[in-house]
Amino acid sequence: MSSVLVLRLAGPMQSWGSSSRFTRRSTEAFPTKSALVGLLAAAQGRRRSDPIEDLAELRFAVRVDQPGQLLRDFHTAHRGDTSMPLSDRFYWADATFGAFVEGPDDVIEGLSQAILRPVFPLYLGRRSCPPTMPLRLAVRRGEAWEAVRETPWMASAYYQKKQCYEQYVSVRVVADQGIIPSDVGVSFEHTIQDVPISFDSERRTYTLRTVEEARVDLENPQYVEARPNAGPGLVHDPMEVL
């Protein structure tokens, strides 16, 4: 039997680089497999030189619940009296993602407990990006796609209210090949170099994986029926604070 670990990835900033080189440190628009494997490995207390093949073999899906805003940081640094090269670093601000990790029951349960009591600090792509709580939402029996469809929309209440006239919202899903059922239909397929082989700083290595994309409709808990002659924007209820 398989289980799925459901994570909520939210924080002031996140950065999910897969092709960052030299002075330009870009970010993908969704959490990468290498970053999620690194997060799980840190929770378990693995060192950078420890094997990670078992974690990389797990099946991953990501749901973009709140895309956030792209930020550019013009980064300067010094090492003693020596100026380091200037760099551009990119982050997502005010974003929320759902991560779904599928694997054997005992493995997923062990990872769930590690997330609750991590050995090393956990972060969202970079050390400067701590997560907000809760990080672990649930452990579910079954397959990742079921969890993707059935886990409630995790966007902030403010973001949900901005779309309060939409009873259902369509969100992007990026998943390992084979997770999205054939009857759903894959809207896009591409490769990304984000499967970690080694995190060792002396021989950090990654390889390619094929990811598939689709969209899923989620119910908006902030939905309100449109009122006649109501203008665009949020519904204002002066008694809401009471």
Q: What is the DSSP string of 170-218?
A: EEEEEEETT-S-TTT--SEEEEEEEEEEE--TTS-EEEEEEEEEEEEEE
Is the pTM higher than 0.85? The answer reads: yes
Is residue 238 included in any domain, yes or no?
A: no
CB atoms within 10 A of CB 110: 16
Number of domains into which the chain is organized: 1
Centroid of chain to Cα 222: 23
Is residue 239 included in any domain, yes or no?
A: no
Backbone angles phi, psi at 43, to 5 degrees: -60, -35
Is residue 65 included in any domain, yes or no?
A: yes
Give the CATH number, domain containing residue 207: 3.30.70.2660
Backbone angles phi, psi at 217, to 5 degrees: -95, 130
Instruction: Detail the DSSP E strand segments found in 76-179.
Output: 78-79, 82-83, 87-104, 136-141, 168-176
Q: Which of 65, 55, 87, 83 is nearest to 74 (CA)?
A: 87
- In tens digits, the chain (242 residues) has pLDDT values of 899 999 999 999 999 987 655 566 789 999 999 999 999 999 999 999 999 999 999 999 999 999 999 998 876 666 776 766 667 889 999 999 999 999 999 999 999 999 999 999 999 999 999 999 999 999 999 999 999 999 999 999 999 999 999 999 999 999 999 999 999 989 889 999 999 999 998 888 999 999 999 999 999 999 997 655 555 555 556 655 55
Name the residue with tokens 């499967």: 195
Tokens of 59: 């099946």
Is residue 242 included in any domain, yes or no?
A: no
Find the domain containing 149 and state its range.
2-76+84-219
For 149, left (φ over 0), alpha (ψ -120 to 50), or beta? alpha
CA distances from 57 to 102, 103, 176, 231 (A): 10, 9, 11, 50
Is residue 226 included in any domain, yes or no?
A: no
Is residue 240 included in any domain, yes or no?
A: no
Centroid of chain to Cα 174: 10
Is residue 51 included in any domain, yes or no?
A: yes
Contacts of 174 (CB under 8 A, 6+ apart): 30, 61, 62, 64, 211, 212, 213
Q: Which amino acid would we find at residue 186?
A: V
Is residue 45 included in any domain, yes or no?
A: yes
